[in-house]
Chain A
């Protein structure tokens, strides 16, 4: 791997990077420093504040701009004479077809979702371009090499899909905080603020599906003359009080489980409703819907605090009131967004109240947001290490140094003294439904030859 041996392979290479985020920024920088001169990079996202702790090519002033474009500009500043082509687009776009992929010597992924990874894997197989895959979470990471016919493709071994929970666990018998979050986000939030025409399991009772009637539907509709405070309390009492009592009526369910406690606002709130209003003035200062906050309104400043049942209940009511008072136009169209502060506050509070009811430990907003938003914890260092490993594998691929291809694992705790553990890639899985099938399609049987 002496530099004089590497240079020709690198200089003439045309590389495609998919993803300009955590791994992408580190990778683009390292490729440029290593002598690569023709790099294409695709990313559909724009820059957010939470990216800046690791996506070092971006600055505060870039928030809202295209990641691919800003990454390109930043790298050109220290390597002005190389060619970087950026695409602010979704790699699943039909423009990025087999012909597009065929122009590259190697494809390098820095993606954060299974769906896009599968898509790129299939395109690489169809265009016969080697793929270097990677991923990181916290201190863990890995780099893998996929060359058609020589190694496993990305899908040869089944990948774990995101965890889903049985409907009845969510609607009736939660035992973990995550169950309460799913209820709060996908059922309650969706019911109150999302598309009314969407099917919703919120009022489904496992014993008596037939009486999911007209009456139940009206419960969540705010009446014409109903005050916001009144409406909020009515919803509270319905989902945390009545629905629980109703569930309790089915003895069978609770034979071997702890019974939940119904919670009513009159019992949780010691004072009169009029004293509950918090400080709506704090939110009048600006019309920006995204800065409206129940926490600010109630003076609860620290997202790391675990609120009491009373505090959660206050946040619940206040958030509901703020949605109806300040963001009424959005109601009916909202879907949960982890960067929507008020939505996160509401979902946290609702999940906590439900948790309190079922004897499940309460969580802070910070923790709840991570669960509800599927936030991946991430640091710069792991991404930097992985980027280095990707470039090393990419160079081997360009040199067709097949005997030395490695899958490398970045561990948090050493295994046999190793923090970085290389393993030889496996041969293709003969019954892989992706790569063995593709082989059949690309090379049709031609008996005359």
Chain B
């Protein structure tokens, strides 16, 4: 983008959203660089949203080949073997996303997301990862935190008809409009490792069960050396056993993590498209807020479950974080 002013083309295209978040936010968006890994349905939704919003660039990482499951919730890839054969998920999504907004630079980065160094992550303002193991989430989160400029970090995962978003904005200052005034607010986010290390007994009594269930599934897949989502109903006994172990280890009543919920999460691991749209939308809004520095960001987990229809924010952090 040349200069500071939005071009006439941008003003015409972005008119309706400029009326929502203002010209200044739109300018900041046009300078933002986003990295995304794990091109499944929810992430595809997020990418659509962020490209339409008019970010500076979007870099995609996913070297997996097309499978039927990959196609099931992905509207960017035409189900035509002649088109998708030989290309990775990232490459195919990149081709389609470019069409949504010619003003956004969409590209593919080859390689494994966990192999990139800190200087790589420093190129971005926002990093979103999905379909990653527990260890990889921690690793990339740490790398982002080590970069001297702030890199906003998000994870998003959808299993069947529920999903989770995690947000790490580190030490975050932003402006909040109150009537005619603008206040400066500050939030301190724990790292992913810090957040999940908080003993379950220390969490609010009514904390969303989904948070706990996700952690059990995550730990199970890690212990068994599985790829995220590589789990089935046959694993349920093993999952319930692990749940008991985790709960006993922290003197936590295991009835707080419903077996029925765990059963749901292992039985159907494919994403339910309406939930992809919801999570991708909420995540899109969060990233736009973080880039523009305006509006209350989500701290620090968001959960949605189609069964009860609630979209809930949970603050999983120590009340007195160490400085």
Show the binding face of A for B, using Cβ within 8 Å: 1-3, 26, 29-30, 32-34, 49-50, 52-54, 56, 59-60, 75, 77-80, 138-139, 302-304, 366, 370, 375-385, 387-389, 391-392, 406, 408, 410, 412-414, 417-422
Contact = CB atoms under 8 A, between A and B. Distances in A.
B86 interface: no
B255 to A, nearest CB: 22
A79 to B, nearest CB: 8
Contacts of A384: 45, 48-49, 277-278, 280-281, 284
Interface in B256-306: 264, 267-268, 270, 272-278, 280-282, 284-285, 288, 295-296, 298, 302, 304, 306
A78 B312 CA distance: 32
A198 to B, nearest CB: 30
A379 B20 contact: yes
Contacts of B306: 1, 392
Given A56-B52, A388-B276, 15 more contacts: A53-B13, A53-B15, A53-B17, A53-B54, A59-B99, A78-B77, A78-B79, A304-B23, A377-B20, A382-B281, A384-B280, A388-B274, A391-B277, A406-B309, A422-B309
The 6 closest A-B pairs by CB, nearest first: A420-B311, A377-B19, A388-B277, A422-B309, A385-B281, A384-B281
Determine which residue in A1, A375, A391, A414 has the highest number of CB atoms from chain B within 10 A of its CB, and name it.
A1
B296 A418 contact: no
A418 B15 CA distance: 29
B53 interface: yes
B314 A417 contact: yes
Nearest to B52: A380
Interface in B94-135: 99-100, 102
Contacts of B280: 384
A381 B268 contact: no
Interface of B: 5, 11-21, 23, 41, 45, 48-49, 52-54, 72-79, 99-100, 102, 160-161, 264, 267-268, 270, 272-278, 280-282, 284-285, 288, 295-296, 298, 302, 304, 306-314
B274 A53 contact: no
A338 to B, nearest CB: 10
A234 B33 CA distance: 55
29 contacts: A1-B306, A1-B307, A2-B264, A2-B267, A3-B160, A32-B75, A33-B72, A34-B274, A53-B13, A53-B14, A53-B16, A53-B17, A78-B78, A138-B20, A139-B285, A304-B23, A376-B16, A377-B19, A378-B17, A381-B281, A382-B281, A382-B285, A384-B48, A387-B277, A388-B277, A392-B274, A417-B312, A418-B313, A419-B312
Given A30-B273, A33-B73, A388 B278 contact: yes
Contacts of A408: 309
B309 A380 contact: no
Contacts of B18: 366
Contacts of B16: 50, 53-54, 375-379
A412 B73 CA distance: 27
A422 B5 CA distance: 42
Contacts of A385: 277-278, 281-282
Contact of B41 (A33, A56, A377, A381): A33
A411 B304 CA distance: 14
A17 to B, nearest CB: 15
Contacts of A33: 41, 72-73, 75, 273, 276
A387 B49 CA distance: 13
Nearest to B298: A419
A296 B237 CA distance: 72
A72 to B, nearest CB: 14
A382 B278 CA distance: 9
Contact of B19 (A26, A56, A370, A410): A370
B276 A3 contact: no
Contact of A422 (B11, B78, B160, B310): B310
Nearest to B270: A3
A34 B277 CA distance: 11
A49 B9 CA distance: 10
A419 B41 CA distance: 21
A381 B282 contact: yes
Contacts of B79: 78-80
Contacts of A366: 18
Contacts of A422: 308-310
Contacts of A2: 160, 264, 267-268
Contacts of A392: 274, 306, 309
Nearest to A80: B79
A188 B170 CA distance: 55
A122 B73 CA distance: 35
A381 B49 contact: yes
A3 B314 CA distance: 27
A79 B73 CA distance: 11
B278 A50 contact: no
Contacts of B160: 2-3
A78 B84 CA distance: 12
Contacts of A139: 20, 285
B236 to A, nearest CB: 14
A77 B11 CA distance: 30
B47 to A, nearest CB: 11
Contacts of A302: 5
Contacts of B310: 418, 420-422
Nearest to A55: B52
Contacts of B302: 419
A78 B70 CA distance: 13
Contacts of A49: 12-13
Contacts of A410: 311
